[in-house]
Amino acid sequence: MPISATGKAPAPFWRTAGQHGFTLLELMIVVAIVGMASAMVAFALRDSAQNQLDREAQRLVALLESARAESRASGVALQWRATAEGFEFTNGLTARPQRWEQAGMQAQSDTPLQLGPEPVIGPQSLRLWSREAPDRSRWISTDGLRAFEVRNAPP
């Protein structure tokens, strides 16, 4: 790098000797980087109550499908119903109580869900929500032919 007569290196071509601070382009790049980073953080963070509700809904779908397969294999009708502490599967004589993995979950169904042993069980649904956020619900439903599925709105 050439040195001037005073011993100082010459200023870069984009800056004159008396210019200090940042250019508009440099500031815009920094703002864009900060904006992208904050957007990534916002998308990475989800509402924990919503996440818990989604996990419980998926777990309940898996349990209902498992009980439905068990009922078809054994030829014994199974029912699912909500209880104060959680829910239970009954086969007419014995009940297998279950608890929610997350505290504060509630479920409601107009009638107990019939899970078999017939291949076609008829349309059925239930509503699942958290006591922390009762306005957020998930509906678990089937048309009787297909598997149970989680929905964001009533069937």
* Radius of gyration for the alpha carbons in the chain, expressed in angstroms and rounded: 30
pLDDT at 45: 74
Task: Report the predicted TM-score, pTM, of the whole model to 2 decimal places.
Answer: 0.68
Residue with tokens 């957020």: 136
pLDDT of residue 9 exceeding 90: no
Domain assignment present for 87: yes
The conformational region for residue 93 under phi > 0 = left, psi -120 to 50 = alpha, else beta, is alpha
Domain assignment present for 133: yes
Domain assignment present for 2: no
Domain assignment present for 76: yes
pLDDT of residue 42 exceeding 90: no
Percent of the chain that is helix, strand, coil (3-state, to 5): 30, 25, 45
pLDDT at 51: 85
Cα distances from 121 to residues 44, 66, 111, 133, in angstroms, run 40, 14, 13, 31
pLDDT in tens, 82-133: 988 899 999 866 777 788 988 889 999 989 999 988 888 889 999 999 988 8
Largest CA distance in the chain: 102
Task: Read off the CATH number of the domain in which 114 is found.
Answer: 3.55.40.10
DSSP state of 111: S
* CA 31 distance to own-chain centroid: 31
Domain assignment present for 9: no
Domain assignment present for 22: no
pLDDT at 31: 96
pLDDT at 80: 93
Amino acid letter, residue 105: M
In terms of pLDDT, which residue wins out, 57 or 15? 57
pLDDT at 54: 92
Domain assignment present for 118: yes
How many whole angstroms separate alpha carbon 128 and alpha carbon 113?
14
**Number of domains making up the chain:** 1
pLDDT at 5: 58
Domain assignment present for 97: yes
What range defines the domain where residue 91 resides?
49-151
The residue-averaged pLDDT of 12-33 equals 80
pLDDT of residue 1 exceeding 60: no
